[in-house]
Amino acid sequence: MEDRLVTRFAPSPTGFLHRGHAFSALTAHDQARRHGGRFLLRIEDIDAARCQPRFDAAILEDLAWLGLAWERPVRRQSENLADYQDALARLRDMGLLYRCFRTRAEILAGIGAAPHDSGRAESPGPQPPDIEAERLAAGEPFAWRLSISAARRRLGDFASLGFDERGAGPAGERGWIAADPAAAGDIIVARKDLGVSYHLAVVVDDALQGVTEVTRGADLFAATPVQRLLQALLSLPTPAYRHHRLILRPDGKRFAKRDTAETLRDLRGRGVTAAALRQDLGLGGA
C-alpha cells in the first residue's frame, strides 16, 4: 500500500473557477509537495446537462496559471461510469438499496411536514411490492436510496465510522471525529437523471485513485459521515480529511459559480498574477 500522501482537486466543469477553487487547489497541491506526495486532478463531469467542454478546458488553463502540476491522465467521471455502476450493483446485491419514485416536490413537502426538532432527514422507505411493480410497469423513473436501517444491520454499529480531520470543520472540529451517517437519512446513491450520486462517485474515485487525504471546503464537512458509511459498506480505504475555511466575497457571502463571483479568468484579465493571488489568499510564497 502506498505510503506517500496523495491529494486531489476535483472540480466540476459547470462554470469558471473562482478564488475559492484556487484556495482549495493550492492547499491540496502545497500539502502534497511539502510531504513529497502526489497531487491529482479529477474532473467531476457526470452531469452532462450542466457540464461543458469550455469549462473543462478553462479549468486546465486556470490551474496551469496558478503554477500547479498534476499527474496525467486526468480522471474524468464521464469516462468511468462503469465503476460507479459496479459499486451500485454491490450495494444492491447486499440488499441495502430501494427504489424511490418520489419527486423533488414530494420530498420537500415531506420534509416540511416533519417535526422541526427531529434532527434527522426523512427516510421515505420502499413502497409496497405491488405498488412498486405497478410504477415500474408504467415506466416511472426512480432513484436508488441507501437504507440506513439495512446498513446498520449489516455493519452492526456506526460507532467505528469516525474520520481523521486534519483541517477544521465549521465549528473548529479537529482530530478524530465520530461520524453519524444516520443524521442524513436514506441518502440517494443513484439519481434518476444521472445513474449515480455525488456521494457514491466520490468515494469510488478516491479509492481507485489512491487518495489518502481529501482537501475541500468546510461546507462539505457534513457530507463526510455519509461517505464514511459508503466506504465501510464497500470495504474501501478511508482517507484523512482536510476541510478548510471558505473564501468569502467582500459582502460576506461565499463565492459560487452561479452568481457574479469574480473568476480566475477575470483576475488574469486584470493583470493579477498568480503570486499576488496566493498572497491575497494568505497562502504565502510558492
β-strands 143-146, 97-100 pairing: antiparallel
Residue type, 136: L
Q: What is the pLDDT of residue 157?
A: 83
The grid cell for 241 is 480529511
Q: Which residue in 62, 257, 264, 278 is the catalytic one?
A: 257
Which tens digit of pLDDT belongs to each residue from 87-139?
Answer: 999 999 999 999 999 876 666 565 444 433 334 466 788 999 999 999 999 99
Q: What is the pLDDT of residue 63?
A: 98
Q: Cα separation of 48 and 46, whole Å?
A: 6
The secondary element (H helix, E strand) that includes residue 243 is strand 240-244
Which tens digit of pLDDT belongs to each residue from 140-186?
Answer: 999 999 999 999 999 988 988 999 999 999 999 999 999 999 999 99
- 10 Å CB burial of residue 215 (0-12, 13-18, 19+) is buried
Q: What confidence tier does 1 reach under pLDDT thresholds 50, 70, 90?
A: very low
Q: Please state which of the ranges 38-47, 85-94, 162-171, 186-195 shows the lowest mean pLDDT.
A: 186-195
Quick check: is 257 catalytic?
A: yes
Cα separations (Å) of 165 from 38, 211, 224, 238, 262?
A: 19, 15, 10, 12, 30
**In the predicted model, what is the mean pLDDT of residues 4-31?**
96
257 vs 207 pLDDT, higher one:
207
Q: What confidence tier does 285 reach under pLDDT thresholds 50, 70, 90?
A: low
Q: What is the pLDDT of residue 170?
A: 94
Q: What is the pLDDT of residue 81?
A: 96
Which tens digit of pLDDT belongs to each residue from 234-255?
Answer: 999 999 999 999 988 776 677 6
Q: Cα separation of 215 and 189, whole Å?
A: 22
Helices 81-93, 198-209: axis angle to 10 degrees equals 110
Which tens digit of pLDDT belongs to each residue from 216-238?
Answer: 999 999 999 999 999 999 999 99
How far is CA 111 from its chain centroid?
A: 23
Q: What confidence tier does 52 reach under pLDDT thresholds 50, 70, 90?
A: very high
Q: Cα separation of 121 and 102, whole Å?
A: 15
Q: Cα separation of 18 and 8, whole Å?
A: 17
The 3-state DSSP class for residue 218 equals helix
Given a cut of 80, whether residue 281 has pLDDT beyond it is: yes
* Residue in the block written with cell 510564497: 285
Please report how many Cα atoms fall inside a 13 Å half-sphere around the Cα of residue 157, on the Cβ side: 4
Q: What is the pLDDT of residue 22?
A: 96
